[in-house]
Chain A
Amino acid sequence: MSAKTSEIKLKFLEALQTISNAEELEKIRVEYIGKKGYVTELLKEMKNLSNEEKKTFGQEVNILKNEVNDKISEKREELRLKEIELENSRMPEFDISMPPKLKRGSYHPITLVQRQCEEVFRSMGFAIEDYSEIVTDYECFEALNIPKNHPARDMQDTYYLENGQLLKSHTSAAQNAIYKKYKDALINDGKPIKAIFPGRCFRNEATDACHENTFFQMEGVMVDKNISISNLIFFMKTMLSEVFQKDIKVRLRPGFFPFVEPGFELDISCLICGGDGCPSCKHSGWLELCPCGMIHPEVLRMGGIDPEEYTGFAFGLGLTRLAMMKYGVKDIRDLNSGSLKNLAQFTDDK
């Protein structure tokens, strides 16, 4: 190696030692192997050499050029790693133990319970129907076989409007419309009527922790050629077991409602004690939950369905009561209060 190349090499290696960032490195690269760099300049000296010498010197300069190039790449990589290391070390260690900020929305508890019930019935092929809150006397009473002089029609129980309509006092007020909507499919196509209709109901009464003038029910009906009491018990038991996510025992007692015959009060085994008796079930082991029954022949007839050919069952579940039982809400008025301190807790429940 000529003294010249050795000297350049030595100078380069020394210079490389002092490099601390990419800009300096680039400067050195230009200084040595750029167009006018020391190494490039060496090649210009070749014209004064013999052919023999040209060959040796050329090789020598090329080797030096490659060496410089490699060293620069090496240095570049070294600097890059250093930079990453520096960036990581500059990042502080964050305190993951800080309390989380849980800004979540919430559903009304009635929505949650209603969705659970709907899901059960939807899975069994029931249609989910909606109905108005303001109905006629015909829908609320007459079509349900509640005669003119029945106590349920007393002014003190029902809110009447100036035009003679009323705020529906039970979801059964939708029955007649449901029958009429589906009767043709039942009669002509043999499609059974299977529907639930959740809705808001109103009773003209004073409110306290256990009484509300505005509450939710969910009515359900099923009509076909051979629907029986046995089926009714099956569906009630299945639905309630699904809603409460445990095996629920049910029992029927005779109950009188003008739109069903036979009519029943359905009790379920107490959710707290499972039937052994506790203060919540007044030590009876049972909770009265929902009225139900076989749809009264007159009610079917008024819905355009021949009771000699078809039978059906109906039930009316108190969604508000169910929500209170499920979530341990003690004051029914909390539900319509709009109190976010209470209601914002119901983030979701599936």
Chain B
Amino acid sequence: MFLSMNWISDFVDLSGLDKLELISKFSLSTAEVENEIFHKGSDISGIVVAEIKSVENHPESKKLHLLKVDIGEAELVDVVCGAPNVKVGMKTAFAKLGAQIGDITITPRKLAGYTSNGMCCSEKEIGISDSNDGIMEITDDLPNGTDLKSVYQIEDIVFEVDNKSLTNRPDLWGHYGIAREFAAIAGRELKPLPKADLSVYNNLKKVDLKIEDPLCYRYSCLQFEGISKHISPVNMRIRLYYCGMRALNFLADLTNYLMLEMGQPMHAFDSRKVEKIRVKRFDKPFKFTTLDGVERDIDENTLMICNGDIPVAIAGIMGGLDSEIVESTSTLTLESATFDASSIRKSTVRLAHRTDASMRYEKSLDPEMTTDAIARFVKLLTDIDEKAVVVSSLTDESAFKYDSINLEFDKAFVNKYTGIEIPDETIIKTLTALGFGVDYANGNFKVVVPSWRSTKDVTMKADIIEEITRIYGYDNFDVNTAAVPLYPVRAAQEKSDEDRIKDILVKRYSMHELHSYIWAYHDEYKALGIEIEDNVELINATNPNIKTIRKAIVPTQLCQLKYNTGFDSDYSVFEIGRVVNGIGDNGLCNERKKLCVSIYSKTKEMEEIYFELRDILCIIADDIKHEKLTFAKKEATHSYQHPKNLNAIICGGKEIGEIGIVNAAVSKKIDKKANIVYAEIDVSDFASVQNASISYKEASRFPEIEIDLSFVTLTYAPIAKAIENANCSFIKDVSVTDTYTDESGKSITIRIIFSHPEKTLSKEEVLEVVNVILADLETQNIKLKNGLPM
């Protein structure tokens, strides 16, 4: 919304004050002002009233005219002018020699062989309207040579307030409310709004009016006729233009002017078309043509203004085409009303049609304003057009009244909330300036909230704090730390696990952390041959590609590997993010936090990176939980999973995720030559595994015995199990030293290190244990390959 300092100054005397500084204070105390401040007319000078005394056609040009104009000086001035609307006797705006229009200085200039000693100006040229059809026509009776700036408010400071920052301030949608803020900020008096006394019309007939729907809070109207003016006064037009509105005709301009001044939208009907005003909704949808000529669908929730049963306007949004003021209109009915804000907002959204009026109604306008606005309208109307007469009494119906809000608080409350000491007098002065009624005694405040702040904005004590502090100025606050008791704060296990996992993966394994989106990408998944399945869906995604929520991060990460083709021959990535595993019995989404890791390699064998990833996971479990991971073969159920190499990850007896090789069908689509393995772990499940503590064992001072054993076996698992079964306290370590395949099949060579804390072990003691292990394996038909080494 654009605001004019001239207009604001109608209501508060700001003379002697730095306007720009006031505007910046306003920005800090009331609502955000956009950076660019417009200094209207400051680059215009030397424009005077000129009367055209003679008009001759240029002998060689069809467009140009040769004029003699009177600018109040001894001699007439010769001017060449191309405007089509020149005529003798017309008064216009004239830039004298030496005049300034923006960067241009007016000098004598040859035009098609004739010298022009100045320039007749259009309104656009002097920046007071968009009109560039011809030169400005001045109808006011002004002496020739009068400096235009001395009679018209061409010079003004205009600033723009971000509409969003006024959302909660229905009182700031007009200049008068803004002026109240300036008055409070500057410590100056707010002048009363000049209004007509409407009681003099009390004995005139009433308008036939009935509110039939409580969504209309108040409806006030008045009829008048005899308007003789068609064009608005120049100053009014300039203000409208500077505030971003086009001047239309006097009546439309006046309703707009009033809206910009008071924030009250108004509408004028042809009285013939609204003999019986009824405000209501209809049972059935219908079509309605608004005055912009657009046919709109009206439904049963849209509040309408009607003539009896015939709709004539969409309440609070726009009038109808049929009831518009036309040439033959003699009597006008002026509407000034308030409606339920959310009803108007919903209708606006439904109709996809937002107007200056609806924008204001959405903010919960003050119903007390409707009659004042009519009184102000009548004052302006009759001041400007003496022939206009009021022909009805003020007709006013109310269906809803806001309660008066009274708040009580003491000084201690203000001190507690602000943390500083603001003097009582400052509080009283601020609240009074903003229109609050203040009753103060002994540190206790009783405050009456003004009607224009009572519709939703100020309802409780904390709201009063804002009023006091914003005018006091946040820059003036003493800034202090809080005096609160100290207690230790323990980090949540999951949070610290997460941080450590990230550190291990980045620092130890040089992995890259990525972020991705929570949805399953239909197109990208499809390109890799990954199915979407029965995932939870968004109901209002505008893009069908993202309408489903992912169940696992793996597919997303595979898409990212595809996206990073060519980044490097070998790299690995991870993400800690969320997935949704369907909807639970409680109706809520089963959201899980997952860690997903992938290794991509063009130089290493699949087996190598598969074990690399497994070992990384084991290190994570060992480092963070001091736990060993175990793995259990899993059945592939998704297209990206490998039919053979897919294992569940088990930690502390709990299945926490899976590790696998990417199915060739998918991996070949990512890169024909790359090997890809992945793992996905449930971070919360992992975090819930109890941290085992480090159990320290003093190293033995006695010699160790190493023994190497080779078995013909396909898997290591039975060997591990047999060693575990032997339950020998002096087996210190077991490692695999070799695996190979020869004519007798796959063999695994292990090395067992025996160590006793208190003695040197004898061969016999060791062999006894080894024989137990061998016997165990024998039962599973796993034989020692080359006999006992000792």
Contacts and interface: CB of A to CB of B under 8 A. Distances in A.
Interface of A: 103-108, 110-111, 115, 122, 125-130, 132-134, 136, 149, 151, 154-156, 159-165, 167, 190-192, 194, 200, 202, 204, 206, 213-214, 222, 224, 226-231, 233-235, 237-238, 251-256, 261-265, 282-284, 294, 296-297, 307, 311, 335-341, 343-344, 348
A346 B761 CA distance: 54
A158 to B, nearest CB: 8
Interface stretch (B121-129, B499-507, B705-713): B499-507
A213 B539 CA distance: 15
Nearest to B511: A105
B697 interface: no
Contacts of B514: 108, 338, 340, 343
Contacts of A115: 499
Given A230-B479, A338-B515, A159 B489 contact: no
Interface stretch (B197-205, B436-444, B463-471): B463-471
B39 to A, nearest CB: 15
Contact of A159 (B462, B481, B541): B541
Contacts of B489: 122, 125-127, 194
Contacts of B112: none
26 contacts: A105-B505, A105-B510, A110-B515, A122-B491, A125-B487, A134-B589, A155-B540, A159-B540, A160-B540, A161-B537, A162-B539, A164-B587, A165-B589, A214-B517, A228-B420, A229-B469, A254-B30, A256-B167, A261-B465, A262-B469, A294-B465, A337-B563, A339-B564, A340-B514, A344-B512, A348-B506
A263 B32 CA distance: 13
Contact of A230 (B419, B499, B573): B419
B62 interface: no
A265 B32 CA distance: 9
A132 B470 contact: no
B495 A254 contact: no
A163 B588 contact: yes
A130 B474 CA distance: 32
Contact of B512 (A106, A155, A297): A106
Interface in B509-526: 509-518
Contacts, number: 228
B85 interface: no
Contact of B420 (A230, A284, A337): A230
B107 interface: no
Contact of B589 (A161, A264, A307): A161
Interface in B533-564: 536-542, 549, 559-560, 563-564
Nearest to A115: B499
B482 A224 contact: yes
B9 interface: no
Nearest to A132: B591
Contacts of B495: 128, 130
Instruction: Pick the most buried of B469, B540, B568, B580: most chain A CB atoms within 10 A of its CB.
Output: B540
B492 interface: yes
Contacts of B29: 254
A256 B363 CA distance: 13
B571 interface: yes
Given A230-B420, A251-B475, A191 B485 contact: yes
6 smallest CB-CB distances across A and B, nearest first, come from A228-B419, A230-B419, A262-B466, A338-B560, A149-B342, A105-B506
B665 interface: no
A151 B549 contact: no
Contacts of B30: 254
B512 A234 contact: no
Contacts of B512: 105-106, 340, 343-344
A129 B513 CA distance: 21
A222 B564 contact: no
A256 B168 contact: yes
Given A128-B495, A340-B571, A111 B502 contact: yes
B694 interface: no
A234 B418 contact: no
B54 interface: no
Contacts of B580: 134
A233 B474 contact: yes
A129 B31 CA distance: 33
Nearest to B564: A340
Contacts of A129: 492
Contacts of A202: 518
B516 A229 contact: no
A238 B537 CA distance: 42
A222 B165 CA distance: 26
Nearest to B494: A130
B327 interface: no
Contacts of A154: 349
